[in-house]
Amino acid sequence: MVADKLDTRRGGPGFRLYHSMQDNVCTYVPLDKHGPETYRRAVYHQNSRASVVDLMTEFDQPDCTFSAPKRAETTTPLQSLTMLNHSFTLDMAAALAERLKQEADDDVAAQVDRVYRLCYSRPATKEEVSACRQLVDRHGLAALCHVLLNTSEMIYVR
Protein backbone atom coordinates (compact mmCIF):
# COMPACT_ATOMS: atom_id res chain seq x y z
CA MET A 1 0.00 0.00 0.00
CA VAL A 2 2.77 2.49 0.88
CA ALA A 3 4.47 1.80 -2.45
CA ASP A 4 1.17 2.70 -4.14
CA LYS A 5 1.07 -0.65 -5.93
CA LEU A 6 -1.77 -2.45 -4.13
CA ASP A 7 -4.69 -3.14 -6.44
CA THR A 8 -7.70 -2.45 -4.19
CA ARG A 9 -10.41 -3.28 -6.72
CA ARG A 10 -13.03 -5.68 -5.43
CA GLY A 11 -13.80 -8.86 -7.32
CA GLY A 12 -12.30 -9.97 -10.56
CA PRO A 13 -9.88 -12.79 -11.25
CA GLY A 14 -7.59 -14.15 -8.59
CA PHE A 15 -3.85 -14.65 -8.89
CA ARG A 16 -1.31 -17.37 -8.20
CA LEU A 17 2.14 -17.02 -6.67
CA TYR A 18 3.35 -20.19 -8.35
CA HIS A 19 3.66 -21.90 -11.72
CA SER A 20 1.83 -25.18 -12.16
CA MET A 21 3.49 -27.85 -14.29
CA GLN A 22 1.65 -31.05 -15.04
CA ASP A 23 3.30 -34.23 -16.26
CA ASN A 24 2.18 -37.36 -14.44
CA VAL A 25 1.65 -35.27 -11.33
CA CYS A 26 1.27 -31.55 -10.71
CA THR A 27 4.37 -29.71 -9.60
CA TYR A 28 4.18 -26.22 -8.16
CA VAL A 29 7.11 -23.81 -8.42
CA PRO A 30 7.02 -20.42 -6.65
CA LEU A 31 7.25 -17.36 -8.89
CA ASP A 32 10.65 -15.70 -9.12
CA LYS A 33 9.13 -12.35 -10.10
CA HIS A 34 5.85 -10.81 -9.01
CA GLY A 35 3.95 -8.67 -11.48
CA PRO A 36 1.12 -6.18 -11.05
CA GLU A 37 -1.45 -8.98 -11.30
CA THR A 38 -0.16 -10.26 -7.91
CA TYR A 39 -0.37 -6.89 -6.14
CA ARG A 40 -3.78 -7.72 -4.66
CA ARG A 41 -5.01 -8.64 -1.22
CA ALA A 42 -4.25 -12.22 -0.20
CA VAL A 43 -7.95 -13.13 -0.27
CA TYR A 44 -7.62 -13.19 -4.09
CA HIS A 45 -4.71 -15.64 -4.02
CA GLN A 46 -5.69 -18.94 -5.62
CA ASN A 47 -3.82 -21.57 -3.70
CA SER A 48 -3.48 -25.23 -4.52
CA ARG A 49 -3.45 -27.60 -1.59
CA ALA A 50 -0.17 -29.11 -2.71
CA SER A 51 1.65 -25.84 -3.35
CA VAL A 52 3.94 -24.08 -0.92
CA VAL A 53 4.39 -20.36 -1.46
CA ASP A 54 7.43 -19.16 0.46
CA LEU A 55 6.25 -15.60 1.01
CA MET A 56 2.88 -16.69 2.37
CA THR A 57 4.12 -19.73 4.29
CA GLU A 58 6.79 -17.78 6.19
CA PHE A 59 4.07 -15.49 7.51
CA ASP A 60 1.82 -18.20 8.93
CA GLN A 61 -0.49 -18.98 6.03
CA PRO A 62 -2.64 -21.86 7.31
CA ASP A 63 -2.28 -25.28 5.71
CA CYS A 64 -4.89 -25.38 2.94
CA THR A 65 -5.75 -29.02 3.61
CA PHE A 66 -7.26 -28.28 7.04
CA SER A 67 -9.67 -25.72 8.37
CA ALA A 68 -8.04 -23.00 10.42
CA PRO A 69 -10.43 -21.15 12.70
CA LYS A 70 -7.53 -19.08 14.06
CA ARG A 71 -4.25 -18.04 12.40
CA ALA A 72 -0.95 -18.72 14.11
CA GLU A 73 1.08 -15.66 15.09
CA THR A 74 4.81 -16.24 15.09
CA THR A 75 7.95 -14.17 14.80
CA THR A 76 10.89 -16.08 13.35
CA PRO A 77 14.31 -15.28 11.90
CA LEU A 78 13.13 -16.78 8.60
CA GLN A 79 10.48 -14.05 8.35
CA SER A 80 13.18 -11.39 8.72
CA LEU A 81 15.37 -13.05 6.10
CA THR A 82 12.41 -13.27 3.74
CA MET A 83 11.61 -9.58 4.20
CA LEU A 84 15.24 -8.63 3.62
CA ASN A 85 15.93 -10.82 0.61
CA HIS A 86 12.70 -11.67 -1.21
CA SER A 87 12.32 -10.14 -4.67
CA PHE A 88 8.84 -8.88 -3.75
CA THR A 89 10.20 -6.75 -0.90
CA LEU A 90 13.00 -5.42 -3.10
CA ASP A 91 10.48 -4.58 -5.85
CA MET A 92 8.24 -2.75 -3.37
CA ALA A 93 11.21 -0.79 -1.98
CA ALA A 94 12.09 0.32 -5.52
CA ALA A 95 8.45 1.25 -6.20
CA LEU A 96 8.28 3.24 -2.96
CA ALA A 97 11.47 5.09 -3.92
CA GLU A 98 9.91 5.98 -7.28
CA ARG A 99 6.78 7.21 -5.54
CA LEU A 100 8.88 9.45 -3.30
CA LYS A 101 10.77 10.88 -6.27
CA GLN A 102 7.45 11.75 -7.92
CA GLU A 103 5.90 13.25 -4.81
CA ALA A 104 8.94 15.03 -3.31
CA ASP A 105 11.21 15.57 -6.34
CA ASP A 106 14.93 15.44 -5.50
CA ASP A 107 14.64 17.03 -2.04
CA VAL A 108 15.97 14.30 0.27
CA ALA A 109 14.56 15.91 3.43
CA ALA A 110 11.11 16.08 1.82
CA GLN A 111 11.45 12.47 0.64
CA VAL A 112 12.36 11.34 4.16
CA ASP A 113 9.46 13.24 5.68
CA ARG A 114 7.06 11.79 3.10
CA VAL A 115 8.24 8.20 3.56
CA TYR A 116 7.90 8.50 7.34
CA ARG A 117 4.37 9.82 6.96
CA LEU A 118 3.52 6.97 4.56
CA CYS A 119 5.14 4.20 6.61
CA TYR A 120 4.62 5.39 10.16
CA SER A 121 1.86 8.02 9.92
CA ARG A 122 4.11 10.53 11.63
CA PRO A 123 6.77 13.06 10.64
CA ALA A 124 10.44 12.15 10.88
CA THR A 125 12.45 13.62 13.75
CA LYS A 126 15.50 15.78 13.05
CA GLU A 127 17.75 12.89 14.08
CA GLU A 128 15.91 10.50 11.76
CA VAL A 129 16.14 12.94 8.84
CA SER A 130 19.89 13.29 9.42
CA ALA A 131 20.48 9.52 9.62
CA CYS A 132 18.25 8.86 6.60
CA ARG A 133 20.00 11.56 4.56
CA GLN A 134 23.35 9.85 5.23
CA LEU A 135 21.91 6.49 4.17
CA VAL A 136 20.46 7.95 0.97
CA ASP A 137 23.76 9.66 0.15
CA ARG A 138 25.69 6.40 0.59
CA HIS A 139 23.26 3.78 -0.73
CA GLY A 140 20.37 5.49 -2.50
CA LEU A 141 16.69 6.10 -1.83
CA ALA A 142 15.63 2.51 -2.57
CA ALA A 143 17.95 1.28 0.22
CA LEU A 144 16.26 3.64 2.69
CA CYS A 145 12.85 2.37 1.57
CA HIS A 146 14.04 -1.23 1.97
CA VAL A 147 15.19 -0.48 5.52
CA LEU A 148 11.94 1.24 6.49
CA LEU A 149 9.79 -1.57 5.08
CA ASN A 150 11.67 -3.92 7.42
CA THR A 151 11.39 -1.95 10.66
CA SER A 152 9.33 -3.09 13.62
CA GLU A 153 7.39 0.17 13.53
CA MET A 154 6.25 -0.64 10.00
CA ILE A 155 5.57 -4.36 10.43
CA TYR A 156 3.83 -4.57 13.81
CA VAL A 157 0.50 -3.03 14.72
CA ARG A 158 0.70 -1.65 18.24
Condensed to tens digits (0 to 9), the pLDDT of residues 43-90 reads 666 676 656 666 666 776 666 667 777 777 778 788 788 888 888 889
- Burial of residue 111 (number of CB atoms within 10 Å: 0-12, 13-18, 19+): buried
Rounded to two decimals, the pTM is 0.75
* Residue (of 72, 49, 48, 51) closest to 60 by Cα position: 72
Condensed to tens digits (0 to 9), the pLDDT of residues 1-20 reads 889 887 788 887 776 666 66
Average of pLDDT values for 98-114? 95
- H/E stretch holding 87: helix 87-104
Rounded to an integer, what is the distance from CA 29 to the centroid of its chain? 20
pLDDT at position 4: 87
d(CA 124, CA 116): 6
Every domain of the chain and the residues it spans:
81-155
16: left (phi over 0), alpha (psi -120 to 50) or beta: beta
